[in-house]
């Protein structure tokens, strides 16, 4: 999975959120007790077990959305019932991110305002997965003014974003429901934590250490910093995406993970690659 340009991360997430809100109006079958809902329950049950996956507790009586609405960023969506044509929703999206929480929040704030929306910082909240940063935004959709409550959590190189939304004049009625769902956010075990055998963990550690040593060798000319400019970050990503690194050290690492941990499955293997890729970019 190629890393996305730094400034486009939140744009994609915000666009997904707005499309999700509109789709909930266009698709009245969401939340109905049909085969579609059974498929949704199967999907979300699986999501709760995926390594590095995230989940929140849906409010009682809310419906699971059709899994066909999900993509590589949007992972979870539940829909409630309101008195307007646009129902309240809560969704969970994820972004691989190599910066800091503060950097992501600044991007989110700037993009929201650039697109004509309002942004208000709401402090932090303790979730089941750790401390999340809160924000409240307002934006105009084809169905009227919509108010959103966001929680941002950076965990193992992944930004988890819970976004709760409702028509502005109904928002206050759902605030407590939104807040409770955000507090329930949790992140599944890491790939390493899922290995119960210490010898298997040692094998994974060795594979990761090898590719990190190789990465250090090819990035010797680039200064290591806790904070990099966007240009410097793009240089690091370019080295990672180069044919030399991809066809050499990274391919060897990928093949080792896939062959030595075949029994863990593709999702586990992809989670390992995602974590290590993020660690290299941020090193």
Listing DSSP states for the chain in one string gives -PPPPGGGHHHHHHHHHHHHHHHHHH-TTTTSSSHHHHHHHHHHHHHTTSTT-EE-PPPTTPEEPPGGG--SSEEEEEE---SSSS--EEEEEEEE--S-HHHHHHHHHHHHHHTT-EEEEEEEEEETTEEEEEEEEEEEETTEEEEEEEEEEEETTEEEEEEEEEEGGGHHHHHHHHHHHHHT-EEPPPTTTT---HHHHHHHHHHHHHHHHHHHHHTTTSPP-SS--HHHHHHHHHHHHSHHHIIIIIHHHHHHHHHHTGGG-HHHHHHHHHHHHHHHHH-
pLDDT value at residue 37 = 66
CATH of domain 6-187: 3.40.1000.10
Report pLDDT for 14: 53
Residues of the chain with pLDDT under 50: 1-7, 25-32
Handedness of CA 132, 270, 49, 193 (dihedral sign): negative
Exposed / middle / buried, residue 165 (Cβ in 10 Å: 0-12, 13-18, 19+): buried
Look up the pTM and report it: 0.71
Q: What is the pLDDT of residue 97?
A: 83
Residues of the chain with CATH 3.40.1000.10: 6-187
Residue 162 confidence (pLDDT): 97
Q: What was the pLDDT predicted at 20?
A: 55
Q: What is the pLDDT of residue 26?
A: 44
CB 161 within 8 A of CB 23: no
Give the pLDDT confidence score for residue 229 in this predicted structure.
Answer: 63
pLDDT tens digit sequence for 60-91? 999 888 788 787 788 898 999 877 778 899 99
pLDDT in the model for residue 234: 83
Structure tokens at 164: 């709760």
């Amino acid at each position: 999975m190629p890393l996305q340009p730094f400034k486009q991360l939140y744009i994609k997430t915000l666009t997904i959120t707005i499309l999700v809100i509109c789709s909930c109006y266009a698709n009245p079958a969401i939340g109905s007790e049909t085969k579609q809902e059974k498929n949704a329950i199967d999907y979300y049950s699986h999501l709760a077990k995926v390594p590095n996956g995230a989940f929140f507790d849906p409010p009682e009586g809310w419906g699971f959305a059709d899994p066909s609405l999900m993509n590589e960023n949007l992972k979870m969506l539940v829909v409630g019932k309101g008195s307007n044509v646009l129902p309240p929703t809560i969704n969970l999206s994820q972004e691989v991110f190599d910066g800091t929480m503060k950097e992501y929040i600044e991007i989110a704030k700037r993009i929201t305002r650039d697109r004509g929306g309002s942004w208000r910082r709401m402090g932090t909240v303790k979730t089941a997965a750790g401390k999340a940063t809160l924000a409240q935004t307002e934006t105009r959709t084809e169905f009227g003014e919509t108010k959103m409550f966001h929680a941002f959590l950076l965990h193992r190189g992944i930004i988890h974003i819970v976004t709760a939304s409702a028509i502005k004049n109904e928002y206050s009625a759902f605030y407590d429901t939104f807040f409770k769902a955000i507090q329930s956010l949790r992140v599944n075990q890491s790939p390493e934590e899922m290995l119960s055998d210490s010898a298997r963990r040692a094998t994974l550690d060795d594979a990761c250490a090898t590719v990190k040593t190789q990465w250090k060798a090819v990035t010797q000319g680039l200064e290591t910093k806790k904070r990099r400019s966007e240009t410097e970050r793009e240089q690091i990503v370019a080295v990672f995406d180069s044919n030399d690194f991809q066809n050499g050290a990274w391919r060897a690492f990928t093949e080792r993970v896939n062959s030595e941990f075949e029994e863990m499955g593709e999702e586990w293997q992809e989670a390992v690659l995602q974590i290590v890729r993020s660690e290299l970019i941020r090193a």
